[in-house]
């Protein structure tokens, strides 16, 4: 009985960690496409092909529900996969909507017309592919009016995290926050729109200042998943939990163990 969680690499572990804490009785099968990370510098078709292959693999391993714990895949591939149709009894969901619902103070699944919300100036930090897709702004426009979003493509941060070079990652975060602040000097809220970035949450908060409310996806996605599974218990699937990677299992396991501060053992996908 496992729910599939997919990311290009290690970032989705931030979602997995929150989901495991929130739903201790649910097994998760985590799929990291490390061999092809980072996705954020690829074109939309490439991201779609890679994402579809990974999701089909998770479905084949018995997962009924797959969470794209990757904003880049959610932005570039989710809609196309859903429009092309998914097999009977299977679902694939992304990570944007729970975040936007929190930002716009909505209950899950509230589809009422867009309305004014408290927050007016929002900084979005994401990969180049997510920023150029404008998927975040599109989803936000369905729910809120009068929100000014300034997006900053954070080149290099995912590569540095995947390589375990946290000093470089921190320096890049500072320079991307500076670049954002030149365009929007006083954001009220900041969205960490890439699941790798919560691993650098302290660096973002420090560079932005304590007055800026920083939203990251782990807990929000975990809570919304709990709500979804209560309404759709058949989506638990029948596969076993675990960790698979298209990369080198020993290297990926070491990095994951370091990030989650507990022993994680990946197997070859
Ligand atoms: N962690 C992913 C995201 O949320 C993708 C990062 C990448 O592969 O560029 O966007």
pLDDT digits (tens, 9 = 90+) for 230-249: 999 989 877 789 999 999 99
Question: Residue 150 sits in which domain range?
Answer: 97-215
Tell me: do 101 and 211 sit in the same domain: yes
Q: Are residues 204 and 101 in the same domain?
A: yes
108/44 same-domain check: no
Catalytic-labelled residue, pool 18, 70, 129, 180: 70
Asked if the model's pLDDT at residue 137 lies above 90, the reply is yes
Among 215, 231, 248, residue at a domain's last position: 215
Average pLDDT of the residues in 44-64 = 97
Between CA 149 and CA 202 the distance in angstroms is: 22
Asked if residue 149 and residue 184 are part of one domain, the reply reads yes
Query: How many structural domains comprise the chain?
Result: 2
Same domain, 156 and 193: yes
Confidence of residue 180 (pLDDT cuts 50, 70, 90): very high
Active site residue 63: no
Which of 6, 8, 95, 163 is the pocket-test mutation for ligand 1 (most atoms within 8 Å of CB)? 8
The enclosing domain of 147 has a CATH number of 3.40.50.1860
The confidence score (pLDDT) of residue 178 equals 98
pLDDT of residue 134: 95
For the question of residue 154 being annotated catalytic, the response is: no
Question: Whats the size of the chain, residue-wise?
Answer: 269
Q: Are residues 116 and 183 in the same domain?
A: yes
Euclidean distance between CA atoms 204 and 6, whole angstroms: 24
Residue 239 pLDDT: 74
Split at pLDDT 50, 70, 90, the class of 110 is confident
CB-based contact 157:172 (threshold 8 Å)? yes
Give the tokens for residue 167: 């000093």
Q: What residues contact 223, with CB distance under 8 A and at least 6 apart?
A: 22, 98
pTM as predicted: 0.94
30 within 8 A of 3, measured Cβ to Cβ: no
Gap from CA of 107 to ligand 1 centroid (Å): 26
What pLDDT, on a 0 to 100 scale, did the predictor assign at position 111?
Answer: 80
pLDDT score, position 269: 95
């Amino acid at each position: 009985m496992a729910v599939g969680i997919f990311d290009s690499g290690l970032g989705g572990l931030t979602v997995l960690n929150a989901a495991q804490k929130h739903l201790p009785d649910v097994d998760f099968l985590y799929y990291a496409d490390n061999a092809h990370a980072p996705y954020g510098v690829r074109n939309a078709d490439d991201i779609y092909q890679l994402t579809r292959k990974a999701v089909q693999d998770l479905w084949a391993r018995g997962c009924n529900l797959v969470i794209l714990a990757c904003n880049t895949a959610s932005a570039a591939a989710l809609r196309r996969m859903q429009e092309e149709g998914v097999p009977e009894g299977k679902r694939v969901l992304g990570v944007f909507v729970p975040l936007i619902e929190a930002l716009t103070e909505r209950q899950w699944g509230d589809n009422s017309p867009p309305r004014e919300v408290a927050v007016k100036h929002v900084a979005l930090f994401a990969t180049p592919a997510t920023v150029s897709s404008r998927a975040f702004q599109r989803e936000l426009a369905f729910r809120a009016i009068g929100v000014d979003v300034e997006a900053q493509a954070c080149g290099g941060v995912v590569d540095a995290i995947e390589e375990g070079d946290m000093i470089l990652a921190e320096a890049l975060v500072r320079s991307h926050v500076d670049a954002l602040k030149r365009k929007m000097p006083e954001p009220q809220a900041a969205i960490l729109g890439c699941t790798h970035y919560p691993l650098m949450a302290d660096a973002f908060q420090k560079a932005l200042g304590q007055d800026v409310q920083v939203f990251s996806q782990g807990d929000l996605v975990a809570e919304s998943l709990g709500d979804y599974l209560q309404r759709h218990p058949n989506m638990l699937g029948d596969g076993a939990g675990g960790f698979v990677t298209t990369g080198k299992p020993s290297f990926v396991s070491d990095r994951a163990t370091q990030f989650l501060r507990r022993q994680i053992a990946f197997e070859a996908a």
